[in-house]
Structure 1
Amino acid sequence: MYSFLSPEPYILIMTGVGVLIALVAWLPLALKQLPLSLPIVCIGLGAALFLFPQVTLRPLPTLHPQITERFAEFVVIIALMGAGLKIDRIFGWRRWAVTWRLLAVTMPLGIAAITVMAGFALDVSWAVALLLAASLAPTDPVLAADVQVGPPKTGDEDEVRFGLTSEAGLNDGAAFPFVHLAILLAVALPAGKPWVGEWLAYRVFWEIGGGILGGWIVGRIFGWLTFRIPAETKLAKTGDGLIALSATFVSYGLTEMVHVYGFLSVFVTALTFRHAHRDHDFQNDMHAITEQIERLAMMVLLILFGGALVSGLLASVGWVDVAIAAAILLVVRPLTGWLGLLGFPAGRHEKMTLAFFGIRGVGSIYYLAFGANHMPVPEAERLWGIVGLVIVFSVLMHGLTVTPAMRSLDRRRGVDPEARDMLSP
């Protein structure tokens, strides 16, 4: 006999998805004036949901390693397309100077510092320490939405927002060689196989160069199909922003087939696609659809992350791990960020904001899952605990400070924060 108190799981899932979609649309508006971020709310919802005894799933990454890797991968590539599409600034070595500093100085220094700290304090192998460092190096393109530039054509690109957006777009690909280096050290080195040549020639030059070239080619093709072919058949006339999702998957899929960095390719595709016709209104359509899908996928992932927290993700974490997690966010990123910006023509407040908001999140989940699936990691539960703790600290610390910090930055620039909020979706 059917009971109103015991609905079928399918009905529960459908209801939950409906509520989640409503929250995707409503929560950003509700939180805009509050010192509170969407990720904080999502993690809290997930923790509350998975505390119910009726929910028996334990969404721990060690129990579902392949699903964790693939789902995090999906969320990141959607975020990378969205980040690339909304950058108004034309690509150039001098115009992107802040980006190169954060990539070439801040990230390698951060990886080195975390590797040394983890190698000595955690008593793990250097390969495992490097994997942890490479996983925690990238600024996250998913959770950093509140410190990124506005939608296309808004002109809302101060140096801080542009720097954090472009850094998040490129350092996900730039961190991959260090993840592969950790894998080579763990697998090839004990077997006595040569690894230096493979790492430099294949994992660095070929995969980075191929990712950039592949992304540019795919972006050019989609740009031509969308904006340049005869007026009656060009894709921009459809008004269907889903073409951006197509470009994301094609760019990532084709470049991964030839074993180059798909993350890098997707971001370059987005930049090239945007450059095909920078002022066309269709740019807003494409950005809107990627942002909606990204937000929905992010909320699902963070709800599962909240569930993992209450399912024992932090069970293996000790006080040393807590100290390391705090040092990564409060010492390593701000210090390396500041060193990377020495001599850069920006105000002290801008440099401090750029250095502070090195948000860690979904990218770290992906890289650790990828590394753990390709090399032996006997300390996997402890590493997942540390990464989980860093993400929690980052979400709380950055989420609670982002609204007042960015509003203060706007006022220093002579921009009315209220007027700027009206430009944002």
Structure 2
Amino acid sequence: MATGLLMLAMFTVCYTLLAKTLSNGILTAPILFIGFGYVMAQTGLMPFAEAEHLLHIVAELALIILLFLDAAQINLRALRERHQWPLRMLLVGLPLAVVIGTAAAAPFMTSYPLIVAALAAALLAPTDAALGQAVVTNEAVPERVRRALTLESGLNDGLALPVILLFASLTAEVMHQDATNWLVFGAKQLIFGPLVGGIMGLVGGYLFLAAKRRKMTSVTIEGIGAIAMAGAAYLAAGLLDGNGFISAFVAGLCFGNIIKGQCAFIYEFTENEGQMLAWGAFFLIGLALLPGAIAHLDTGMLAIILTSLFVVRPLAVWLSLSGTDAAPVTKLFFGWFGPRGLATALFALLVVDQIDHDIGEYLLNLAVNAVWISAVLHGVTAVPFARWYGARMSDDEDAAEMAAVPPMRPEGAAKH
């Protein structure tokens, strides 16, 4: 175990030394860390049992903190008033992705009830900006497009989670596993989670502002309070049988819209320590889950994943942006860059032990295979597609400007 951890530490050091160079190529951090985890699994230097236990700890911690911090960076008023594209993709595109995804997955899951196909579609709906980092940080891509992708990926995992929990409870009901208890449990999760999170976020935000005004805290220490608040929202919801992850997300949303950017730590953590948490989770997925998932990857599962990536998401986004000022090429760009990442794998981990074992294992393998396939496909296409799209949009803007300029009179033409 110690040797494996040493190799992971050295691998991370090497990656950080080459990060800027690698960011201009096809080898993204998720690809490298998932791949390194898979290689380590083949060596046997890190036992599977210990890796799975560690994965659950790191996964829950990463999900709590990143849900809170992603939500805290969203300005709800600005989103409602000025960001039509991400709002449409969240409120229209996300439900459409679940509906279309259910219809697409059902023919390949005939041995399971339809609700299981719906749960699979919900698990494959959230997107992850970390897998599209080469796109959202590429200045060749127009800022409005990059901002829309960042806003969408920051919110859609929190919005998808209640749907996933609801479908998981309905799956348990269909499979006759204490249906009444499951429905009561699911209702508590969906009611008390947001309620506790909202209260914690609002109270915490006002207390934070009061302490800032009275100079009772400092920039170097306020970040600890933000992380503690995310943990408190998670734990408090759990005491009332609410869902802690939904609570952390709602707490971040309320906290961020109260403090309105007055906590620089929120943004700094996401760029630094948050990256490290995400890399660790990707590594552990590759180590603990990827070998088993690849072993169970069959034609039907591959068809569901590729349909989700190439048909379901693009179609849902295209329909959701109908009637907006998004150009056709922009709709296609949004549709493709919806990579599946940590949320898909970690949400599957949440429900795997709470539903029928065979269904849970199938969905977990589906989610993990979707993550690594997405990491490869989106990682390979991120830089070249972003450059092509940026050049295309620049050419279109130049052409529009030229069309708007009146033609010059030929030299010597008569003036009227």
Normalising by structure 2, report the TM-score.
Answer: 0.79
Q: Residue by residue, what CA displacement relative to the aligned partner does 1:311-346 show, whole Å, maximum 9, x if unpaired?
A: 332112222222221111011111111111111222
CA deviation map 1:101-123 (0-9, x unaligned): 22332222222233233332232
Change beyond 3 A, Cα 1:208–1:404: farther
- Aligned equivalent of 1:251: 233
> Are 1:369 and 2:354 counterparts?
no
**Distance in 2, Cα, partners of 1:411 & 1:158:** 14
Alignment of 1:124-163 (within 5 A): 124-126=111-113, 127-140=115-128, 142-148=130-136, 158-163=143-148
Q: SS at 2:82's partner residue?
A: coil
> What amino acid is aligned across from residue 160 of structure 1 in structure 2?
V
CA-CA distance at 1:79 after TM superposition = 2.1
Q: What is the CA distance between 1:310 and its match in structure 2?
A: 6.2
Encode CA deviations 1:258-277: one digit per residue, 9 max, x unaligned.
34444444334334433444
Aligned partner of 1:36 in structure 2 is: 27
**Do the aligned partners of 2:296 and 2:365 also contact (CA within 8 Å) in 1?**
yes
**CA RMSD between the two structures:** 3.7
2:333 paired with 1:353: yes
In 1, Cα distance between the equivalents of 2:142 and 2:199?
26
Which residue does the alignment assign to 2:169?
Answer: 184
Stretch of structure 1 that moved more, 90-99 or 288-297: 90-99
Bigger mean CA offset, 368-377 vs 137-146: 137-146
Segment of structure 1 superposing worse, 77-86 or 208-217: 208-217
Partner of 2:397: none
Flag the 1:221–1:22 CA change in 2: closer, same or farther, 3 A. Answer: farther
Q: Secondary structure at the match of 1:51?
A: helix
* Counterpart code for 1:30: T
1:241 matches 2:223: yes
Which residue of the other structure, out of 288, 295, 318, is the alignment partner of 2:268?
A: 288
In the superposition, relative to structure 1, how do residues 45 and 92 fare at CA in structure 2: closer, same or farther (>3 Å)? closer
Q: Secondary structure of 1:235's partner?
A: coil
The separation in 2 between residues aligned to 1:133 and 1:307, in whole angstroms, is 25
Give the conservation status (yes or no) of the 8 Å contact 1:72–1:366: yes
- Name the SS for the 2:48 alignment partner: coil
Instruction: Provide the C-alpha distance between the structure 1 equivalents of 2:177 and 2:74, rounded to a whole number of angstroms.
Output: 46
* Greater Cα offset, 303-312 or 165-174: 303-312
Partner of 2:69: 82
Structure 1 length normalisation: TM-score?
0.78
Conservation of the 8 A alpha-carbon contact between 1:87 and 1:162: no
Instruction: Quote the residue 1:116 is aligned against.
Output: 103
Q: Secondary structure at the match of 1:344?
A: coil
Q: Are the aligned partners of 2:34 and 2:283 in contact in 1 as well (CA < 8 Å)?
A: yes
Partner of 1:22: 13
Task: Tell me: CA distance 1:409–1:277, structure 2 relative to 1, closer, same or farther (3 Å).
Answer: farther
Say yes or no: does 1:175 pair with 2:160: yes
Separation (CA, whole Å) in 2 of partners of 1:342 and 1:226: 41
**Partner of residue 304, structure 2:** 324
Whole-Å separation in 2 of the counterparts to 1:275 and 1:239: 20
The AA in structure 1 aligned to 2:120 is L
Cα distance change of structure 1 residues 312 and 269 upon mapping to structure 2, 3 Å threshold: closer
Instruction: Decide whether aligned partners of structure 1 residues 259 and 340 sit closer, same or farther in structure 2, where only a CA change above 3 A counts.
Output: farther
Q: Bigger radius of gyration, 1 or 2?
A: 2
Counterpart in 1 of 2:249? 267
Q: Structure 2: which 5+ residue stretches go unaligned? A: 395-416
User: What amino acid does structure 1 have at the position aligned with 2:122?
Assistant: A
Cα distance in 2 for residues equivalent to 1:149 and 1:255: 35
1:403-422, aligned counterparts within 5 Å?
A: 403-410=383-390
Q: Which ranges of structure 1 fall in alignment gaps of 5 or more residues? A: 1-8, 415-425
Structure-2 separation of matches of 1:307 and 1:339: 38
Number of the residue aligned with 1:397: 377
Contact 2:339 2:374 in 1 (8 A): yes
Q: Is the 8 A contact 2:208 2:259 kept in 1?
A: no
